[in-house]
Every structure is written in C-alpha cells, then in structure tokens.
A and B are shown apart, each in its own frame.
Chain A
C-alpha cells in the first residue's frame, strides 16, 4: 500500500508565477490535509478537504492560495503570483476517516526566486 505521494518534490518558481502542488492520498483515504513549514518553524495547518469539499480552511492565507480535492485525481494546492515569503516545505497528510490517524507525505519544497 503506497503512502501519501506528493509531487513534485522540489519546485522552483519566479516571483509572480503560479505554483501547483499535488497530493495523492493513501488508498482508501478520503480526507486530506495541507500543512506549511517555514524555515525554523513547526508545521502549520492550512486546509482540510474531503472529496470535493473544503471542510476547514482556517489556516489558509486569504489571498492567492486555494485548494481542491476533486472526485477523481489528486488534491491540488495552488498558489498564485508567488512571492519570496511563500518559500517553504508544503506537506500533505491523509486519513481514512475524520477520527483516524493521518499519514504524511514527503513534502514539496517550494523555492521562489
């Protein structure tokens, strides 16, 4: 059973470009969570999605950031018009149900130049 798969592992974008980060949850998992880890900090919750629905986006920046988890395909975290401050490691986690353990992917390291 493959784990949570994130791609790309590394992404370099110029300021003003768009970044798309993909997350394929573990088989049988329909709950997805996105986290951001800034340098020297812990992981910060961004958004919680369940197939086709955003359940909790209390940690998402109000502008430029969006997330989706379509019926088919991976979850996507989209960052428009990236700025240097968006440079971070972005982790995705998935769980089978709301009250079961979440497993993390290896992360996508975004660098904005």
Chain B
C-alpha cells in the first residue's frame, strides 16, 4: 500500500529553468510533509517542509506547495542548477498523533537531471 506516490520516476530540465517535482498521498491523516534530496551513495538530506495548515513554504530557490483537497504537493526549484541533479523524495508524517518526526513515509523518488 503506497501511501505516498511520486509518479514521475525521472525529470530532465535545462539549467536556469524551473523544475517541478510532484507528489500525491492517500492518507488524509498526514499533516506534515517533507522533501529530501539524495545523492548516490549518500543518505537523504532534508530540503524543505510544510505543515498542513499552510499551502506554501519558500526557502531560497525552493518552494513547496500543498493542495490538501487534492492530496497533492509539489516542489519547485527555480532557477535549476546542475548541482541540483539528485533523487528527490517526498515524505509525510502524522504529527498530530504524536508520531516522531523520524518516522517518515517516503515516496519512491524522482531522479532530477539538470543539464548545463
């Protein structure tokens, strides 16, 4: 039962353009969402998060949008840089139930390639 889904296995973008990574979830109990970035042979690194009481959170070149009614979130990277090339994972937790921030439900990941 895949509760967090990233339906695009890969995305290719030109340097300087916008990258949009999408994520859908099925469990309406999820109330906190995170994006992680992962390089080969390394662990995931936290990128940005959003609480379900918000619909947008911005941090530099990264913006996460949340559409609760559609159970959909997206990560926008603008402008994209070659160093952004990595696997991006969407993750969710049910925080309201007292669940630890470390118990994450991950999507399958999207491989982003930014071409110079």
How many residues of B are in contact with the other chain, CB < 8 A?
A: 22
A95-B100, A105-B43 are known; give 17 further A-B pairs, CB within 8 A.
A31-B100, A31-B102, A33-B100, A35-B104, A35-B106, A42-B4, A42-B107, A56-B100, A56-B103, A91-B43, A95-B101, A95-B102, A98-B100, A101-B101, A104-B45, A106-B41, A107-B42
A19-70 with Cβ < 8 A to chain B: 31, 33, 35, 40-45, 48, 55-56
B108 close to A41 (CB less than 8 A): yes
Measured CB to CB, the nearest residue on chain B to A103 is B46
Of the residues B36, B43, B95, B103, contact of A45 by C-beta under 8 Å: B103
Given contacts A101-B46, A105-B43, A106-B43, contact A42 B106 (CB under 8 A): yes
A-side contacts of B36, CB under 8 Å:
104
Q: Which of B32-54 contact A (CB under 8 A)?
A: 36, 41-46
Q: Is B85 an interface residue (CB 8 A)?
A: no
Pull 19 A–B residue pairs with CB atoms less than 8 Å apart, ordered by A.
Answer: A40-B108, A42-B4, A42-B89, A42-B106, A43-B89, A43-B104, A45-B105, A56-B100, A56-B103, A91-B44, A93-B102, A95-B101, A98-B98, A98-B100, A99-B101, A101-B46, A104-B36, A105-B43, A107-B41
Number of A residues near B (Cβ < 8 Å) is 27
Which residues of B pack against A, CB within 8 Å?
Answer: 4, 6, 36, 41-46, 89, 95, 98, 100-109
Minimum CB–CB distance from B76 to chain A (whole Å) comes to 21
A45 to B3, CA, bound (A): 13
The reply to whether B101 and A102 form a contact with Cβ atoms under 8 Å apart is: yes
Q: How long is the Cα–Cα vector from A101 to B35 in the complex, in angstroms? A: 12
Residues of B within 8 A of A99 (CB): 95, 100-101
CB neighbours of A94 from chain B (8 A): 102
Residues in chain B near residue A91, CB distance under 8 A: 43-44
| A4 CB → nearest B CB, Å | 7
| A98 lies within 8 A of B89 (CB) | no
A98 touches which of B41, B44, B46, B101 (Cβ 8 Å): B101
